[in-house]
Amino acid sequence: MASAPQGAPRHPSPGDGWVECACGRRHWGLHGAAGLLLARRSPEGSGWDVVLQHRALWSDQGGTWGIPGGARAPGESAVEAALREAGEEAGIDPGSVRVLGSQVLDHGSWSYTTVRAEAVGPLEPRPTDAESLEIAWVATHAVADRPLLTAFAAAWPGLRAQVEGSAPVA
């Protein structure tokens, strides 16, 4: 199994490791990976906010923004992994979340599942481990103004449409 990136705190999981992908990149997660795109109506009610994670500098594409997520454990569903990772990295209680659907980026030998959910209870996301520099509710119209993780930036227009209600959930 490959090790975590240099400088990363060690809390190894059975799913941790790099996969050399047919797409020419390497991806984190021996069994794939998943993340939670959590949305809520903005406090003033005029739009939507999503939880974003400012990624630790030592991580892959460190310093960029994306959603809390990470490697799936053996036998763990994408929803279970996304909720676990959101709890570990952003203090998100699964009991305050309603899962709405998911979208899979499938590379054959590796996949990433974005689990879309809405906040149904009080939530104050915050950095709860060393993988997060910052956790913030960000208005959907302002997400693309931040330096985004490459894959998240590519997926954001379609995900934004889903969050804002103009595209169906897969």
Please report, in tens digits, the pLDDT of each residue of the chain (170 residues total): 333 444 444 456 777 766 676 776 766 656 678 999 999 998 887 899 999 999 888 877 778 999 998 888 888 999 999 999 999 999 999 999 999 999 887 777 777 889 999 999 888 999 998 888 999 999 999 999 999 988 899 999 999 999 998 544 44
Range of the domain at 123: 32-163
Q: Is 80 exposed, middle or buried, given 0-12, 13-18 or 19+ CB atoms closer than 10 A?
A: middle
pLDDT at site 108: 72
Q: Determine, yes or no, domain membership for 99.
A: yes
- State the number of CA atoms in the 13 A half-sphere of 145 facing the CB: 5
Q: Determine, yes or no, domain membership for 123.
A: yes
pLDDT at site 8: 45
Q: Determine, yes or no, domain membership for 53.
A: yes
pLDDT at site 33: 82
pLDDT at site 156: 96
Q: Determine, yes or no, domain membership for 143.
A: yes
pLDDT at site 4: 43
Kindly report the CATH number assigned to the domain that includes residue 60.
Answer: 3.90.79.10
Tally of domains in the chain: 1
CA–CA separation, 89 and 42 (whole Å): 22
Contact between 162 and 156 under an 8 Å Cβ cutoff? The reply is: no
